[in-house]
Amino acid sequence: MEHYSDRRYLVSFDSAMVPQIFADVLVIGSGVAGLRAALTAAEGGEVLLVAKGQLEESNTSKAQGGVAAALDKEDSSALHMQDTLDAGQGICDPEIVRAITAEAPERIEELARWGANFDREDGRIALTREGGHSMARIVHALGDATGKEVADTLIRRVRETEGIKIMDGTFVLDLLTMPEEGCVGALLHDRSRGPMIVWAKATVLACGGAGRIFRETTNAPIATGDGIAMAYRAGATLTDLEFYQFHPTALYVAGASRALISEAVRGEGGILRNARGERFMPKYHELAELAPRDAVSRAIVTEIRETGHTCAYVDMRHIAAERLVRRFPGIRDLCAQFDIDITREQVPIRPAAHYMIGGVQVGFDGRTSVPRLFACGEAACTGLHGANRLGSNSLLEGLVIGHHAGDAARRTAESESREAPHTRFKVRLTAARTDAIDVADVTDSLRALCWRSLGIERTRFGLDEVAHMLVFWGRYVMAKEFRDRAGWELQNMLQVASLLTEVAMMREESRGVHFRTDFPKTNDALWKTHLDVSRELGVQQRRVEG
């Protein structure tokens, strides 16, 4: 399959003419993982934290459900680990799973010390249950605003921490790499000051996922796969890209952006019904509404197709109104914007792209295959999630791996005695010619195509269609030198979609969130593997041990 991996954003300027910034550690991204990495990195040096939008703008802030942690006396990290392994369907990294689930209580206690206002019952942190979990272990805040509370807590801490400089409204065009040295910083474009270079002794990618390549997504507009694309161009190894998780229950109102209806709604007793009013999950899975997300998403898609309706529904009318409003005030307010009373009416839902399980291949310390480059959060792939992320493990992973990536980056920077290199780069930002391309139109077409053929159900025919169109668009989009964020984002989205399509086409089986209608069974004999991708080696299979 044709790629455009040689395209670099080093679009021609002289470094002597462009502002240069020096940092011990550069952190790219302001979600849970990036914020946590910056805090630990700042314990030993100067940190520059770069945000594409406002510091508060991230997928973390939109997360409703919670953080998974075994805090109940009847629960244990071993049970949490087993649930995670079961959801991951054979390709989790058991050691990573063990380490992250064991550290979960410590990270929750840390956030509580820093002022996170977690919901409590009788003085103890309240816990609820979500699909795939055998125990109630989901820590939540303000009912259904856990992500925002976690993000706000970390942002307060970051703003109070001496040694962290914040640059928001800044697009990172590309990583800067040098032979033998690896990543030495990044090329940025600030919305008010233009291009600039950041030289850094260590760089942490925490740019989030790529949900915006799909028409239907719960992701924030900033989630365009920038970190995945720039890591690939820099030579890093990516893995498990074919596993993209779709949230089963996004609010479906024609003309409105998709918003989460938390999985915790089903954990608290919400029932899924089709357009005929029939409860349908028991016929698809023994856990019914508490089945893993991939099973619920496929069941909803099937019911929508069989009923000929545009959506399915989540029914909360049987739950006591007072309890429902207390537990889900955000969802109550969201639905009320569309004149839907969750205590009296069913809520229309359908699946939407939600979480990128694959990403830049890293270990427990966030270290990538490129020297001095680290990654964490949704941009990274640790092996925690396997083929299907267990609900509320993502904020947990961001907290744990963010901390360890920040620590490894700090130690790397401390071991670097000299200043960052002064090297001349060439960039032609002023030479851009984009008059022949309607960026918005290509972006909309890409998102519609990916949703149709790269979404919840995949076939060889559909994947071939995506591959063909990506090559066609790529020939004239990837060759352009854009001058604005929309064009750069489109190039990154095309790059990520191309890589995702290639590995989805190769994996001729169904496993977790990767479902091939032409290969509906799981095939451990051939496909109990990871698919690793790099510019240098292309796609390689890596057998899962055990």
- The residues annotated with a catalytic role in the active site are 293
Fill in the DSSP letter of residue 170.
Answer: E
Which residues have CB under 8 Å from 545's CB, separation 6+?
Answer: none
User: Rounded distance, CA 382 to CA 313, Å?
Assistant: 34
Largest CA distance in the chain: 69
Helices 94-113, 77-88: axis angle to 10 degrees equals 130
Residues 330 and 146 sit within 8 Å (Cβ to Cβ): no
312-315 β-sheet, strand order: 259-260, 244-251, 347-356, 312-315, 271-273
Instruction: Classify burial at 365, counting beta carbons within 10 Å of its beta carbon; exposed 0-12, middle 13-18, buried 19 or more.
Output: middle
**What 3-state DSSP class applies to 322?**
helix
Helix, strand, coil percent content, the chain, rounded in steps of 5: 35, 20, 40
Q: How many helices (H) and strands (E) in the chain? A: 15, 22
User: Rounded distance, CA 367 to CA 204, Å?
Assistant: 9
Tell me the β-bridge partners of 373: 203
Residues 496 and 225 sit within 8 Å (Cβ to Cβ): yes
Residues 50 and 28 sit within 8 Å (Cβ to Cβ): yes
Residues 262 and 328 sit within 8 Å (Cβ to Cβ): yes
CA 157 remoteness from chain centre: 23
Beta strands per DSSP E along 480-537: 529-534
Angle at alpha carbon of residue 362, lines to 81 and 116, rounded to 5°:
60
User: Rounded distance, CA 52 to CA 222, Å?
Assistant: 7
Q: Which amino acid is located at 523 in the chain?
A: N
User: Rounded distance, CA 349 to CA 319, Å?
Assistant: 18
Tokens for 233, please give them. Answer: 């161009």
CA 263 remoteness from chain centre: 17
Residues 464 and 452 sit within 8 Å (Cβ to Cβ): no
User: Rounded distance, CA 407 to CA 192, Å?
Assistant: 32
Alpha helices in 431-484 (DSSP H): 439-453, 460-477
Report the relative pairing of strands 20-28 and 47-50 from DSSP bridges. parallel
**What 3-state DSSP class applies to 369?**
coil
Residue 541 phi/psi, 5° resolution?
-85, 140
